[in-house]
Amino acid sequence: MAKTVTISELRIDQRIQNEAFSLKEFEKKVSRVGKYYYNILLGDKTGEIRGKLWSENVDSSLESLTPGEIVSITGYIQEYAGKPQIIAEKITVVTDMAPEEFLPVTSRDRSMMREDLESGMQTVKNPHLKQILDLFWNDESSRDNYLNFPAGMYVHHGYVGGLLEHVWEMWQLSQPFLNIYANLDRDLYFAGLFFHDVGKLEELNIVGATIVMTKEGSLNGHVVQGALKVQSLINQIPDFPEDLRVKLLHLILSHQGHLEFGSPVKPLMLEALILSMVDTNGADMNQATKHIEKQADSDDDFTDYHKQLGRSLYKGS
Q: Which residues bind Fe ion (CB under 5 A)?
A: 197, 279
Compare residues 44 and 279 and give the one whose CB is closer to Fe ion. Answer: 279
Q: What is the DSSP letter of 1?
A: -
Compare residues 75 and 257 and give the one whose CB is closer to Fe ion. Answer: 257
Q: Are 151 and 163 in contact (CB under 8 A)?
A: yes
Smallest gap from Cβ 86 to Fe ion, in A, equals 34
Compare residues 19 and 279 and give the one whose CB is closer to Fe ion. Answer: 279
* Sequence-ordered list of residues with C-beta below 8 angstroms from that of 216, at least 6 positions apart, any chain: 202, 203, 225
The DSSP element (H or E) to which 43 belongs, if any, is strand 36-44
Compare residues 103 and 198 and give the one whose CB is closer to Fe ion. Answer: 198
Smallest gap from Cβ 193 to Fe ion, in A, equals 9
Smallest gap from Cβ 199 to Fe ion, in A, equals 8
Beta strand 83-93 with 36-44: parallel, antiparallel or unpaired?
A: unpaired
Compare residues 277 and 292 and give the one whose CB is closer to Fe ion. Answer: 277
CA dihedral 64, 67, 69, 71 (to 10 degrees): 80
d(CA 232, CA 245): 11
Smallest gap from Cβ 90 to Fe ion, in A, equals 42
d(CA 192, CA 302): 37
Smallest gap from Cβ 178 to Fe ion, in A, equals 18
